[in-house]
Amino acid sequence: MPPLVTAVGLALFVTYATWRAFANSHYYAAPYVSPFYSPCLASNCQDMKGGADWPLFGSWWGLSPALLVLVFPLGFRLTCYYYRKAYYRGIWSSPPACAVAEPHAKYTGETRFPLILQNSHRYFFYLALVVAGILTYDAVLGFRDEHGNWGHMGLGTLVLLANIALIWAYTVSCHSCRHVIGGKLRHFSRHPVRYRLWGWVGTLTARHMLLAWSSLISVGVADFYVYLVSSGAFDDPRFF
């Protein structure tokens, strides 16, 4: 991907996400919750029937509850091996492209603070697992209607399902995941199950860039869909 396209793509998402994260409105349209606002950890959250609405932070938090949880996916993506490549190349021009001179007099890579913190990627991966679990729960809740009765399906359900599928694919395709699941082993032959899992994860890892972008877009689309429905601009088509 050309650096400019990468930079523009990332900038667009960051702009949109910043607006939505600070907006603190139109993030819930029963039964759909925006992935930006789940789990909702402050008491200023909108009431979500049966949803991941746990006021752990109590009432002192006055800002948008999205800010409490977006830190985790943000950190996961910021330290992700693919996104690192993307923004090192696209935004910092380090390097702008292969075999093209870079406009920096000095280069120390990830050897010192703050970039040495990139090594924390696996912890963000663990947290991302939790977040993905909660978003899965949200997607399942999409099979209830707005009154909490099971047996519902609308376009929003599909949107949340597609999003969570891509989120999982992206999360599992993470290089740290590949390492933890089997890459760290010396002898695959002694761990046949982990070896097989490692192989599957590896297949996904090879598509990490694709999954990174498609899950980024899907999470934005999911949020925007909830925004449209919640603000009344769009009526969620109901299948049953």
Partner 1 sequence: MSSYTAHFKVWRGDADGGGLADYQVEVNDGEVVLDIIHRLQATQAADLAVRWNCKAGKCGSCSAEVNGRPRLMCMTRMSVFSREETVTVTPMRTFPVIRDLVTDVSFNYTKAREVPAFVPPQGVAAGEYRMAQQDVERSQEFRKCIECFLCQNTCHVVRDHDENKPAFSGPRFLMRVAELDMHPLDAAAEAGLDRAASAQDEHGLGYCNITKCCTEVCPEGIHITDNALIPLKERAVDRKYDPLVWLGSKIRRRGQ
**DSSP H helices in the chain:** 3-23, 66-78, 81-90, 121-141, 155-172, 175-178, 192-205, 208-230
Total chain residues near partner 1 (CB under 8 A): 38
List Cβ neighbours of 106 (8 Å cut-off, separation of 6 or more): none
Instruction: Pick between residue 59 and residue 189 the one whose CB is nearest to partner 1.
Output: 189
Among 57, 137, 188, 234, binds partner 1 (CB under 8 A): 188
CA torsion sign for 23, 24, 30, 33 is positive
Q: Which is nearer to partner 1, 147 or 187 (CB)?
A: 187
Are 39 and 52 a contacting pair, CB within 8 Å?
Answer: yes
CB of 89 to partner 1, least distance (A): 5
**Closer of 110 and 235 to partner 1 (Cβ):** 110
Of 52-60, 77-85, 134-142, 155-163, which part binds partner 1 (CB under 8 A)? Answer: 77-85
Q: Which residues are within 8 A (CB) of 1 and not within 5 positions of it... i.e. 6 or more apart?
A: 86, 209
In the region spanning residues 189 to 208, those forming contacts with partner 1, defined by CB under 8 A, are 189, 195, 205-206
Which residues form the interface with partner 1 (CB under 8 A)?
81, 84-85, 88-89, 94-95, 98-102, 106-112, 115-116, 119-122, 175-176, 178-179, 183-184, 186-189, 195, 205-206
